[in-house]
Structure 1
Amino acid sequence: MSSADERRFEVLRAIVADYVRDNEPVASKAIVERHNLGVSSATVRNDMAALEEEGYITQPHTSAGRIPTDKGYRLFVDRLSEVKPLSVAERRAIRSFLAGAIDLDDVMRRSVRLLAQLTRQVAVIQYPTLTTSTVRHVEVVGITPARLMLVLITDTGRVDQRMVDLGDVVTEESVARLRTMLNTALTGRRLADAAAKVAELPESAPTELRDHVIKISTVLVESLVEHPEERLVLGGTANLTRNATDFPNSLRQVLEALEEQVVVLKLLAAAGDSRTITVRIGEENEAEEMRSTSVVSIGYGRLGGGHLGGLGVVGPTRMDYPTNIAAVRAVANYVGEILSQ
């Protein structure tokens, strides 16, 4: 890259920084005064003219300063050489806050609340994808002589409880036999495979337990199939209203789109693995309703060749990308660590 191109990028960087901070078009005089670029105001004006001609910045009003375009934000993000790291205190607070979670649901809720607070954007996290989960253990607990509680635990930390009314008294010995039968058949299997195995259990069950196994299998299948309504948690939606001016005529449709699970799942589907941040800016978003937003996302956790799920933030294209990228990456790391334990 030539020295002139490098200088123009520094001008673009200054415009992005000032516009994100002040939400006002940036003039050449302000750039010279606020940023130590070592060039004259005339040179900055020429660079701004070149950047505008190439589509990186635009002039929203006559005689106004310039603001970045989606293309300008993209160049800025692609050339981020440094992402502002979170402080030691911030990292310690994240670890402490998430480590206090009591179960998977609590991890999900705490994660979005924390991420929304750190970034002041809308935070979203996807539950660990059940298709990649395996059965860690099935516990069978006698609640009454004729009623059992089934507890399904997966390797991703999901805990699902179901009650089974047997309609007949069952002994402690039979409960132990049922527990052994279920764990022998299901432990270590992926949930989809486990669901198919559960359906076969009545055929191989001892005659005296067959009726119990049929009732247990019918209930247990519900825990082994994907529940789309449980796959996402959102937090900080009200943060969008703080930046209503960033969504001229589109805030309502953005909010409505966020209510659609399928739209948000598609946003997270673009997330890379747990080592790679993905940033989609404005028109790069597939959903038309989301084209006034930017999405910063990443996968969390590792399982085989993939990741457990995705998390990220949604906000205006005028966002603090370095800070948001650092926060998303840090929270994802800690969520992955906690679930692996």
Structure 2
Amino acid sequence: MTITLSRPELILKLIVEQYLLDGQPVSSKVLADNAQLAVSSATVRNTMMQLEQQGFIRSPHTSAGRIPTTSGMRLFIDKMLQLQPLTTLWASELQRKLTPQLPVSLLCQQAGQLLTNLTGFVTIISAPKAGGRMVRQIDLVRLASDRLLLVVIDEDGDILHRVLHCETAIDNNILSKVLCLLNAALGGGGQWQDGIARLGSIVRGESGVCQQLLQKVLGQLSLDELQQHQPLIFGQHQLLLTPEYQQNTALQQVMQMLEQPEGLVRLLHNITQDDTPKLLLGKESGYVELANVSVIAQRYQAQPARFIALVGPRRMNYARLIPLVEACARQLNLNLNRR
């Protein structure tokens, strides 16, 4: 689709495209030499002055070159950006790595790692078990006289398996009793969190070796439940390697935010209320820590609400990356609906 642009809009478009390409201020001479304009250098300079007065471009230092502001980038993306079709390579990678046979947690992990590998940016995925989960099966398997394997399977097929090291040997009577108590607390398709609460009450009523073993199981279940409700974050180290990070210490604040992501997760949940991709440019997020990065976010499931997001420098290739995040969300949604 051909977009008709005014001369100021075309000049802004050329400035943004060149800036996204090399990150350098764009001079009026470079623009005047562009065949798309066919105007004099004086006309270009006057138009650039007009764009600067309107807040769409700015001078980073005393040179004659200009770079786009957040407002200029927003106008470019909303009106001038033409999204590119997903590459064949990326499409095949999404289909190959994100298969419906994978349990939900592993599917989310695969999606996050794949998106980071393809882009080199940070990927954030909402907690795999954001809506709670049901226990389908729980078992204790003897490995040795003082070692047991705890196995818990939820309704999505995700498996928790942990080796429990006991201070004393566990005889068959104790093992049978503990297993019965675990099934009483967590069996029958109950909610994981409710089962943990019931198990806590049972632990307080027991004593000796039986109580010690139940406490070990309770600790593992509680830890796994906590982890399952944390967002998955991939590629933090990738951000450290970008030229922008090396030149701008403000990006170190982004790393701090990723280490304590509660505020960022709330933001992403709030903006992904429908099935269209969302793009936040720097200060648009309302967080000073994100002033120097962009975020592309997309919801991939409504109930429970789940999102996937890509975080990177402002100089992203938006034309390629927005369709990639959309396609990844679509593939996740398709696989989850097939269950």
TM-score by length of 2: 0.76
Contact 1:138 1:150 in 2 (8 A): no
The alignment partner of 1:61 has SS state of coil
Aligned to 2:207: none
Q: Distance in 2 between matches of 1:243 and 1:161?
A: 41
Counterparts of 1:302 and 1:157, CA distance in 2: 21
**What is the one-letter code of the residue matched to 1:143?**
R
Over 3 Å counting, the alpha-carbon distance change for 1:329 and 1:86 in structure 2 is same
- Please name the residue that 1:123 is paired with: 123
Match of 2:331 among 317, 331, 334: 334
Show the 5 A alignment for 1:254-333: 254-262=254-262, 264-266=264-266, 268-273=268-273, 275-304=275-304, 306-307=305-306, 310-333=307-330
Match of 2:141 in 1: 142
Residues of 1 paired with 2:224 and 2:51: CA distance? 54
Structure 2 alignment gaps of length 5 or more: 205-209
Alignment of 1:22-41 (within 5 A): 22-34=22-34, 36-37=36-37, 41=41
Indicate conservation of the 8 Å contact 1:152/1:223, yes or no.
Answer: no
Q: What SS does structure 2 have at the residue aligned with 1:237?
A: helix
Instruction: Compute the displacement of 1:275 (Å).
Output: 1.6
- Do structure 1's residue 87 and structure 2's residue 90 form an aligned pair? no
Q: Distance in 2 between matches of 1:180 and 1:324?
A: 47
Between Structure 1 and Structure 2, how many residues are aligned? 329
Q: Secondary structure at the match of 2:328?
A: helix
- The 8 Å contact of residues 247 and 292 in structure 1, kept in 2 or not, is answered as no
Do the aligned residues in 1 keep the contact of 2:196 with 2:221 (CA within 8 Å)?
yes
Matches within 5 A, 1:164-183: 167-170=170-173, 181=184
In structure 2, do the counterparts of structure 1 residues 172 and 239 end up closer, same or farther at CA, with 3 Å as the change threshold?
Answer: closer
Please give the per-residue CA displacement for 1:237-294, whole angstroms capped at 9, x wherever unaligned: 2344332378534243333443333354355344404622222212223432321212
Unpaired runs of at least 5, structure 1 = 204-209
Q: 1:77 aligns to what SS in structure 2?
A: helix
Cα-to-partner distance string for 1:132-191 (whole Å, 9 max, x where unaligned): 132151232533699764433345554323457794425999899778756764x264x4
- RMSD of aligned alpha carbons: 4.1
Contact map agreement 1:117 1:236 (CA 8 A) in 2: no
Quickly say closer, same or farther: Cα 1:257–1:223, change in 2 above 3 A: closer
Return closer, same or farther for 1:333/1:167 CA change in 2, 3 Å cut-off: same
Give the fraction of aligned pairs with identical amino acids, expressed as a percent.
Answer: 28
Distance 2:214 2:132 in 1: 24
State the partner residue of 1:206.
none
Choose 57-66 or 99-108, whichever is displaced more. 99-108
TM-score by length of 1: 0.75
Q: Distance in 1 between the 2:155 and 2:32 partners?
A: 56
| SS state at 2:312 partner | strand
Q: Answer with 88-97 or 163-172: which moved more.
A: 163-172
User: Contact 1:25–1:67 (CA<8 Å) still a contact in 2?
Assistant: yes
Task: State the match for 1:21 in structure 2.
Answer: 21
Q: Residues 188 and 339 of structure 1: is their aligned pair in 2 closer, same or farther, counting only changes over 3 Å?
A: farther
